[in-house]
Chain A
């Protein structure tokens, strides 16, 4: 049968089979598996049917634990059910997995295997998560490539029905889940043929039903539990045979034969590598290469890992086996070896002891590789095979890193490459926002679908959410592509952004005769002189061909804006000669129609125009024979950076993190703060420039800045004596800080992301040109040098004394130093202004518990992190535990602080005579309600420490304890932060409990109304009528009213804020929340790119949300009850504009009017009703209570 060839990634391949062969799908987003759920949700929303003609039901749960629970329930109710997950999500499913397996329930969970958060979180791929489920009773079956994902998904689905053992079907996160590959798509007939209908009916018959009731899930005692547990053995014994049976059936049907263990290599191999997952591709390439060199090597690919069939394993090994090296993509600290290694050792030992081993007991070594998607290349495989030749090969080794601490790592030659010359290998450097990745995905599809070539695409992103760099790795050619690693010898390199040339050694991977395509403003004649020395050198020495295009010019002329994707793609096809030019153009246009057709003819035409204009602007440049440039690659950080930043952080920034040895890495995940300041990213094309002549000194630009890159200072004007010539200043207008004070607004142009929020909120207009304000955007490059000096000078000016600042006013609060700066958040981020405000107000005494999500990524993803400290060395201490437990994690901070404070207070009294009664009394009874009180207490604590530091206390344990606890006498501020996915969904149970605890913690919910970090999936905070992933047809129900729920406790301080609508109310709420001696909850409207809005004017969206009454501003302060006042203050006017006037400013709402106008209209009416109803409730709350209070008086 002729099957369709499709160019898709691993997630889509798994989702395709899962969707087609299940009735119920319960999902929850987690990287890198989210896309599987998204595909299924989208297909279900479109009404696509599975192989039985049923549209599967797709439900998003509140957590993976919830998804597993629903899966368990649906299975028990007889439905074919599946789910998708990874990493922490899989861990949350474990309790249910024991149940599902214990009850012998047929299901397949598809897992894009990912690292587990240990010393740090990582979203990338390894087998740590899957390995943690070994004891659940689930079968574990691995796929090594995108094709295998589709095939194995079906084999597992077929096998589970007969075996009654549930399966985890896993494949490597990112490397396989996100690799785009041309594969053969299974047909519905294939799936029908593989699945036994009788077994499906049997599965259904086992369902719980009142029509034939049974009881399942009993509790058992010591007498029978054990026996009950042993009943399943025969199923596990039979399982491998059943899986092989379906592998064979599949082979007959489709032609691809799989085995539980697949051996490749020399039939008489002596050195065998055993492994599973995508790394097998790289290993197989090397095995093929070495066997051609007549080396006796082989690779055993493990497919069915659980149940582990010793017989099948042993039989798959050549009889000539002498050395086995087992590679595990996981780490189990403290174990005698990693899991697969131990299984192999056990299998060999058992067979050896029973006399069934067909060869002498081999040497067996185990090694770890590829953690968190660490590259695993044929060169590394060669290193391992070389090691295996040794008399005493290293055991428990690592490969791919340099372990200079415990010396586990094997040596290998990183320059050794066996990439096939017949295969095209291209690397494309782009920006996230320029569409490079999208274009390359399209190119792969065009080539994959337009030729008989094999094709592969893999895409690498940096960790920043603004100005992120992307590198696309493309391979295609007549030979099957098994290269499951990045392109390291390229014959085509494209640089889509000129600025990269000075940051990256771009042509180092180019082979001789390779092509270099550069997007540049420079002309054919001028371009040579703009290239760095190293680039010129590579172009000459490698005899490269050099092409240029001014893609931004073409984009501007054709209305494409900053999207140069189509233009660069056209260049690629024009140069690479994969197809004749005319044919390529037709194919690109066809692809454009497919990609943009849904967005209307005009968009298609605009892209067509761009294609047509490109060729006229593409030039070949003849490479001169001589290097003339003096331009050098820029250092990653300045010479002034601290040692760690220079030695480690700088390497990571420069893309050389793979070279950092173990000895340079902190042992326990602890990192210095304040590193973002050293990474001068220079990503803004335009930056704000202050016009002091019209400034009204309101500091609104400062409070809204998401990146803390525009700041205000008030200082003694005498300090201006040494100021750089271009340093701007004006006389401070107020008298609050004394006479003769100067005022400056300074921009960190190298850290600014150019969002323009500051310009948008600036209220001061130029009287002669009202289009200009006191802050205006100007080109960054001409300003860079002088503003760098001005910024340095600005930083050298002293911070104003915190004790004298009226922190409750917006203006004055912005003279407080931010201790959260230059994060990697999106340009114009709506969350970070709130986070920054916390650090300004309380940062020098704050502990921050941060839920996993956007805020933990822009807050804590290496290389550099934004949390920093002041000149006294104080600043927020930050940590991220998990997604689901953040409130509890933060409560733990408070419990520890309170206990330490109590211990310190008790110890002080013990040492009253040594310390002095007065100081003790002052320390114990200090008023720390304001900055002055805290300042005084800090002085007292210093005094206390001095008094306890004498030699007479050297052997006094209590005194030592008191010294170590003394700082807890100063008030600490606990902040629990996270997004709505955490607060409304996965962490709600914990949050609710923590709010009910009565403890003094401050909860800040950065409410973007979707799971922003994983790509905009619906949460319970998503409003009715908005489109989100998992709510493609518009969210049918209203937003959960988290604030009102918390208010019902009566003793929780609750505020709802929107900085763009009322910054003064925001500041007040933060101060009150922190001052409240009990739990506080602030729900902060956070605009987000997932809303589909112009981020530079997003504060207007906030205002509109409030004006419509959708987002109410209020403060509920339980303290007011004691004063006989109504604790609830409604602070917005509400219902000033219809909801739709706000909502349709945003793509998330508007797109529904274009995809399903009738539903959009219906939902908008209901959403307006929600607004009206809620507003009535709040008005009542604001008024009724007062009445009650009057009565009570």
Chain B
């Protein structure tokens, strides 16, 4: 049984990759990923905005009260040196590389163009085998056009690609008017792969407190339908490695994604729910399914149920009510 797959130029032993998330903040978990059979790991994201925020917060709280009272010229030790840049993250990447043999993929969420390139370079220097750009932006400003947003995303990719030599994938939001057009532009901008899709914070309302609750819900298997469709549509239309993420829970979800055209599947919620051992379970069951259904390799099934390999490609492209009309006919 050959589960091997080639993602971003990395030869992976199977398509299971834990996606960016809190578990990778512990080196011991990364080791457990490897032991459980994960083919690579995407590190948690380095957020430029968070680094900035932390620096401002630290500066504010240690200085706003200083030099205000004769008895207390300051309230904190003044001689401390802080590691406020990405050092901690980079050190973590370095340690992860030392700890495991599987490829380590860095993840970056920049704020400024300069930040994207600077941190990308540093992540590469820290030893990451590839970089996932977590372009995490909700377009809420009515005075900024889609064109401007799209251009910004593409500029980021171009800039980062020109500053690093490791492969770069882009983790995207699903909210582009023309996803296929955008995917093609990412390809032209130099991206090596697309990760479909990013899930944003999903604020809720607390009716007791009449407050917004900023939280993230773990994905459910239903969430996999969106990436499934888009991978199936994009497969073969763009020369990019496609990674599926969101709602991949079990071996069947993995197989479906591969059949739609994915090179790898990234899992987080199901691991958080079931523990890191879940990776082994999925792999075992996947092999079993492939044996039962007489598949020999992933290459054999990849894209087999993508838009270009199914009889009626409109099944992925049409919206539901159109399908309903068709069935009426």
Contact = CB atoms under 8 A, between A and B. Distances in A.
Given A599-B84, A1016-B76, A1157-B83, A432 B68 contact: yes
Interface string A1121-1154: 0000000000000000000000000011011011
Given A432-B69, A770-B211, A1157-B88, A1147 B79 contact: no
A35 interface: yes
Given A31-B71, A433-B68, A1013-B71, A598 B81 contact: yes
Contact of A1155 (B70, B72, B75, B80): B80
Interface in B21-77: 51-52, 54-77
Interface string B192-236: 000000000000000001110000000000000000000000000
Among B59, B91, B211, chain A packs the most CB atoms within 10 A around the CB of B59
Interface string B78-107: 111111110010010000000000000000
A605 B210 CA distance: 39
A197 B49 CA distance: 55
Contact of B79 (A46, A123, A441, A602): A46
B60 A38 contact: no
B88 A45 contact: no
B80 to A, nearest CB: 5
Contacts of A603: 55-56, 59
A437 B67 contact: yes
A635 B63 CA distance: 33
Interface stretch (A906-914, A1087-1095, A1180-1188): A1087-1095
A174 B91 CA distance: 44
A212 B196 CA distance: 78
Contacts of B62: 599, 1092, 1147, 1151
Contacts of A433: 64-65, 68
A738 interface: no
Given A459-B67, A561-B60, A1092-B62, A1015 B73 contact: yes
Given A602-B55, A1151-B80, A1154-B83, A770 B210 contact: yes
Contact of A174 (B60, B64, B70, B77): B70
A882 interface: no
A1028 B80 CA distance: 11
A600 B82 contact: yes
A1016 B75 contact: yes
A33 to B, nearest CB: 11
A35 B63 contact: no
Interface in A451-481: 459-461, 463, 465, 468, 470
A468 B69 contact: yes
Range of interface residues on B (Cβ < 8 Å): 35 or more
B75 A1089 contact: yes
B61 A1093 contact: yes
Interface of B is mostly: loop
A1164 interface: no
Contacts of B65: 432-433, 826, 1089-1090
A600 B62 CA distance: 13
B20 to A, nearest CB: 20
A1092 B54 CA distance: 13
Interface in A762-804: 765, 770
A435 B85 contact: no
Contacts of A599: 55, 58-59, 62, 82, 84
Contacts of A601: 85
A1150 B58 contact: yes
B63 A563 contact: yes
A43 B77 CA distance: 10
Contacts of B61: 1092-1093, 1147
Nearest to A601: B85
Interface string B271-303: 000000000000000000000000000000000
A600 B79 contact: no
Given A602-B52, A765-B210, A1155-B80, A438 B75 contact: no
B72 A1092 contact: no
A1153 B55 CA distance: 12
Contacts of A770: 210-211
A1014 B71 CA distance: 5
Nearest to B55: A600
A42 B76 contact: no
Contacts of A1153: 88
B66 A438 contact: yes
Given A563-B63, A1147-B57, A1147-B76, A1155 B82 contact: yes
A465 B172 CA distance: 50
B210 A1147 contact: no
A1148 B77 CA distance: 10
Interface in A422-438: 431-433, 435-438
A1029 interface: yes
B55 to A, nearest CB: 4
B118 to A, nearest CB: 10
A1153 B84 CA distance: 10
Contacts of A1015: 71-75
A1032 B82 contact: no
Contacts of B55: 599-600, 602-603
Contacts of B67: 432, 435-438, 441, 459, 470
Nearest to B70: A461
Contact of B80 (A460, A562, A1032): A1032
Given A561-B60, A602-B56, A1147-B58, A43 B79 contact: yes
A596 B75 contact: no
A41 interface: yes
A645 interface: no
Contacts of A438: 63, 66-67
Contacts of B83: 1154-1155, 1157
A461 B69 contact: yes
A465 B69 contact: yes
A758 interface: no
A561 B59 CA distance: 12
Contacts of A1028: 76-77
B210 A1148 contact: no
B82 A1154 contact: yes
A668 to B, nearest CB: 25
A1027 interface: yes
Contacts of A1148: 76
A970 interface: no
A596 B59 contact: yes
For B71, B88, B209, which residue has the most chain A Cβ atoms within 10 angstroms?
A: B71
A586 to B, nearest CB: 22
Contacts of B52: 600, 602
A734 to B, nearest CB: 23
Nearest to A826: B65
Contacts of A561: 60
A857 interface: yes
The interface centre, meaning the residue of A826, A857, A1147, A1157 with most chain B CB atoms within 10 A of its CB, is A1147
A1090 B68 contact: no
Contacts of B69: 432, 461, 465, 468
A1029 B63 contact: no
A601 B114 CA distance: 13
A765 B207 CA distance: 12
Contacts of A598: 80-82
User: Which 8 A/B pairs are nearest by Cβ-Cβ distance?
Assistant: A432-B68, A1015-B72, A1092-B61, A42-B79, A437-B67, A600-B84, A600-B55, A1032-B77
22 contacts: A38-B78, A432-B65, A433-B65, A438-B67, A461-B69, A461-B70, A561-B60, A599-B62, A601-B85, A603-B55, A603-B56, A765-B209, A1016-B75, A1027-B76, A1090-B75, A1092-B75, A1151-B58, A1151-B76, A1151-B82, A1154-B54, A1154-B84, A1157-B83
Given A45-B79, A46-B79, 19 more contacts: A35-B73, A38-B77, A42-B80, A124-B70, A433-B64, A435-B63, A437-B67, A461-B69, A470-B67, A600-B58, A602-B51, A1013-B72, A1016-B75, A1032-B77, A1032-B80, A1147-B58, A1151-B82, A1154-B58, A1154-B84
